[in-house]
Amino acid sequence: MQLVRYRSTTGTIVLGLMANNRLVGTFPAPNTTLSDLLRLHIDELRMLIEYALQGNKEIALEKVLAPIDGSTEVWAAGVTYKRSEEARREESDTPNIYARVYQAERPELFFKATARRVSGPGELIAVRSDSHWDVPEPELAVVANAHGEIVGYTIANDVSSRSIEGENPLYLPQAKVYSGSCALGPTITLAWTMPDPRQLKIQMQIERGGKTYWEGETNTNGLKRSMEELISYLYRDNDFPGGAILCTGTALVPEHPFTLEQDDVVHIDIEQLGILHNPVVRGKAALLHRL
C-alpha cells in the first residue's frame, strides 16, 4: 500500500492511499500533510491509515506530486555500494577518502533538499550550468518519522555533478545541492506492506532523442550498511520534527565519458516502488522558465 500526494481535479492537494494502482482512501482531515503524518509514532500512523481506508475515495486524482511537504528534509548517504566507491576514486584527485569512508564505522551523510526543492514524477530535474560532467543517481530512499522509525520507501534521484565533486571533495554541497538536483516519487510504499527492502531490483534507463542511450540494473542487496544503521546515524544528535527522507546511495554510475544532457529523460524503476521519470534541463534559468 502507498501514500500518494496528489493534486485533485478541483485543484486541492490531497493525501491519499493507493493499492493496486487505485485510490483506496483519503485522510479524514482534508488538510492532512505528509509531514503531519511523520510526526506520529508508527503505531498511531497505522491506526490513522486504517481509519483513512474507510474515508472518501471520490476525490479524483489529476497529477501525482512529490511525496514530501512541510518541514520534512531530504538527506543522502554516500559510498554505500562498492560501485559508488570505485566511481568516486576514478573521478577524484583525493581517491583515498572514498575508500576510507566505505570501510569506516561512521557513514557519509549529507543534506540534500527541502520539500520546496524536490521535483516530483514527470517534473524537470537539472544539471548545473557550471558543470561539464553530470549523472543521475538512482537510489532507494527511506522515509523515517520524527521518532526515527522507518515508515516507508520511495525512489530518489540524487542528481550530481561529478566534475565539481571530483575537483575537490569540499565542493560536495555545490555538486549535490542546487535547483533541480533532487527528484522523489512517485509514492511512498508503507514499510509494513513491503516484504524485503534489501532485495529490490533497481533499473535506470536514460533516454536521448527518443531512444535508450544508457541503461543499467542493480539490486539493493549490494548495500553495505543496514537502513536502520543509516537512520540511527542521521538521528544521532539531530532532530527531524517533520521526519526525514534518506537516499541510501547509488550503485549505478554510468561510465566515463557519459554525462547527462538537456532534454535527456531519466527513468528509474525500483521493484515494488514504481517508476520515476524526469526530463533534464541545464541550469536554473531553463528550470524556472519551463516549470
Among 69, 73, 91, 108, binds ligand DO4 (CB under 6 A): 108
Shortest Å distance, C-beta 230 to ligand DO4: 12
Whole-angstrom distance, CA of residue 5 vs CA of residue 18: 10
Residues 263/60, Cβ–Cβ less than 8 Å: no
Residues 17/3, Cβ–Cβ less than 8 Å: yes
Reading phi first (left if > 0) and then psi (alpha if -120 to 50, else beta), residue 212 is in beta
Among 45, 66, 76, 118, binds ligand DO4 (CB under 6 A): 76
Q: Which is nearer to Mg ion, 2 or 250 (CB)?
A: 250
Residue 79 touches which of Mg ion, ligand DO4, none (CB < 5 to 8 A by kind)?
ligand DO4
Stretch (H or E) spanning 146: none
Q: Which is nearer to ligand DO4, 79 or 287 (CB)?
A: 79
Residues of span 240-269 touching ligand DO4 by CB under 6 A:
249-250
Task: For helices 82-91 and 96-103, give the axis angle rounded to 10 degrees.
Answer: 160
Whole-angstrom distance, CA of residue 164 vs CA of residue 176: 9
Reading the block at residue 277, the C-alpha cell is 521519470
| Paired sense of beta strands 125-127 and 138-144, if any | unpaired
Among 73, 85, 134, 137, binds Mg ion (CB under 5 A): 137
Residue 52 touches which of Mg ion, ligand DO4, none (CB < 5 to 8 A by kind)?
none
Among 158, 164, 218, 234, binds ligand DO4 (CB under 6 A): 158
Q: Which is nearer to ligand DO4, 4 or 183 (CB)?
A: 183
Candidates 143, 126, 144; CA nearest to 135 is 126
Q: Which is nearer to ligand DO4, 38 or 127 (CB)?
A: 127
Shortest Å distance, C-beta 158 to ligand DO4: 5
Residues of span 247-276 touching Mg ion by CB under 5 A:
250
**CA 209 to chain centroid:** 25
Residues of span 115-154 touching ligand DO4 by CB under 6 A:
137
Binding status of residue 79 toward ligand DO4 by CB under 6 A:
yes
Residue 119 touches which of Mg ion, ligand DO4, none (CB < 5 to 8 A by kind)?
none
164-191 b/e with 16+ CB inside 10 Å = b? bbbbeeeebebbbbbbbbbbbbbbbbbb
Q: Which residues contact ligand DO4 (rule: CB under 6 A)?
A: 76, 78-79, 84, 88, 108, 137, 158, 249-250
Q: Which residues contact Mg ion (rule: CB under 5 A)?
A: 137, 158, 250
